[in-house]
Amino acid sequence: MQSNSTASAVPGAAARGGRYDEGVSEPDPITARLEDQIDWYGRKSTANQNAFKRIKTIEIISAASIPFLGAFVKDYPPTVWLTGILGVLITVLEGMLHLHQYEQNWISFRATCESLKREKYLYLAKAQPYAGADDARALLAERVESLVSQEHTVWMSTQLQPAKEKA
């Protein structure tokens, strides 16, 4: 995961005259990490959502075509092959969905992204739990790393599930 050198800038912060790293001479690595993680989880969530929806769309169209093509088997015998190919395609696509866990990753990555965004806005607003904290930046770092660690643990368990099912 690459960090973005302009990641510490908050949308609309220039208009308010503020940044995450206000009062810090160099870019803040904590807020840069937060922005990097929000970006990564957002992109990965979208990619998994798109993959899941594309595969499901192809499955639905293929499944709906099989009974339709079955009506032409008597007049056009080669349609038997086409219906068989569609059945195989559906099976392969469903196996890919199960193997790659697109739906589960989409939901998990999106939830983590939204949780990270929530932490960002709580920190910027100096709301609880940051309001009375002795070191709000350290608390932000701890909470961000905790969220990323929790998501990683969930991701690892979903990746190990298909392996356990095969055994």
| Residue whose C-alpha is closest to residue 150's, from 103, 106, 116, 117 | 116
Q: How many CA atoms lie within 13 A of 150 on its CB side?
A: 13
pTM exceeding 0.85: no
Decide if 21 is inside a domain.
no
pLDDT at res. 19: 52
Task: Report yes or no: 138 and 123 within 8 Å, Cβ to Cβ.
Answer: no
Measured CA to CA, the distance from residue 90 to residue 10 in angstroms comes to 45
Of residues 28 and 15, the one with the higher pLDDT is 28
Measured CA to CA, the distance from residue 66 to residue 149 in angstroms comes to 45
Decide if 160 is inside a domain.
yes
pLDDT at res. 1: 44
Give pLDDT tens digits for 73-112.
889 888 999 999 999 999 999 999 999 999 999 999 999 9
Of residues 51 and 7, the one with the higher pLDDT is 51
Decide if 141 is inside a domain.
yes
Q: Which stretches of 13-77 are DSSP H helices?
A: 13-16, 29-70
CA distances from 105 to 32, 56, 84, 86, 99 (A): 24, 15, 31, 27, 11
The parent domain of residue 93 ranges over: 28-166
Give pLDDT tens digits for 123-151.
999 999 999 899 999 999 999 999 999 88
Decide if 10 is inside a domain.
no
Task: Report yes or no: 116 and 41 within 8 Å, Cβ to Cβ.
Answer: yes
CA 2-122-28 angle, to 5 degrees, is 40
Q: Report the number of distinct structural domains present in the chain.
A: 1
Decide if 6 is inside a domain.
no
Radius of gyration of the chain (CA): 24
Decide if 56 is inside a domain.
yes
4: pLDDT strictly greater than 70: no
Decide if 83 is inside a domain.
yes
Share of the chain above pLDDT 70, in %: 80
Amino acid letter at 70? G
Measured CA to CA, the distance from residue 95 to residue 134 in angstroms comes to 51
Least confident of 11-15, 68-72, 98-102: 11-15
Amino acid letter at 64? A
Decide if 91 is inside a domain.
yes
Output the six-digit token pair for 42. 């957002």
